Amino acid sequence: MTDWKKMSKDELELQYSPSRWSHRMSAGDVIRAHVAALKSDLPLVIYFHGGYWQFLSKDESGFLAVPLVQKGVVVVAVGYSIAPKGNMDLMVSQVRRSVVSVIQQYSHISGLYLCGHSAGAHLAAMVLSTDWSQYDISPQIKGAFLVSGIYDLQPILSTYVNEPLKMNEEVALRNSPSHFLSQLKVSSSSCDIIVAVAQNDSPEFRKQSEEYFKALESAGLKVSFEDVPNTDHFSIIEQLVDENYHLTKLLLKMMGKS
């Protein structure tokens, strides 16, 4: 190997000009292609975790990233102040602000998509129902993947679920996505929505998903319903680690990555 001290200025510049060593294209072209690749737009999925608004966190939310990242999708898991520290109004406000923050942070987004499970599906649906005129930005959400969610909070007011949440009827009503269909139609009219439910979810959970789907459909929104066989409330989301799982394929198809 030649001693660099014995090289001429031109030889040194050649050795330390990586663009001139590419076999793919000319030096100028390879730099332009590199800049374009770094600036290329990518679809971005924001994931909202479940846990009945009182368990889990964003730290347990990376499981679905692998099959999506492999296909060139950016995945961001957001957290929120679970009960009893946080109340429902606060959690809804936090996830809405998180969406705004993510959009401001990631400038090269070809499409913004939401995915939520259980309580996270409820929060994703509340994001879809946001009046964005109150915020600095109006996100163009292209798709939402709502998995085994609760869309009317009134039935859980008298259950153990509400003990740490301490919701009254007024709080439950103003945080129930099923009561904000007109606002959703304004803010997310062009959004593709998939409402999914597990075959072995409880009859009430299944009813919540079916009724929310029908309400969205009646409102003229772009929505489809997925009744996922051989799954329960937990396995329906756990299997998103598998690139061959039906819902993983649907999520990728929604983003044009199938």
Q: Are 95 and 80 in contact (CB under 8 A)?
A: yes
Cα 36 from Cα 12, distance rounded (Å): 28
Give the single-character DSSP code of 76.
E
Q: Are 239 and 231 in contact (CB under 8 A)?
A: yes
Looking at the DSSP bridge assignments, the partners of residue 42 are 109
Q: Is the dihedral of CA 85, 141, 39, 69 positive or negative?
A: positive
Cα 250 from Cα 115, distance rounded (Å): 12
Query: Residue 150 has which token pair?
Result: 């609760």
Looking at the DSSP bridge assignments, the partners of residue 144 are 114, 193
Q: Which residues are known catalytic residues?
A: 118, 201, 233
Cβ contacts of residue 171 below 8 Å, gap of 6+? 87, 88, 89
Q: Are 61 and 234 in contact (CB under 8 A)?
A: no
DSSP letters of 224-241? EEEEETT--TTHHHHGGG
Position 122: which residue type? H
Query: Residue 17 has which token pair?
Result: 């000009």
Read off φ and ψ for residue 252, nearest 5 degrees.
-65, -40
Read off φ and ψ for residue 86, nearest 5 degrees.
-105, 150
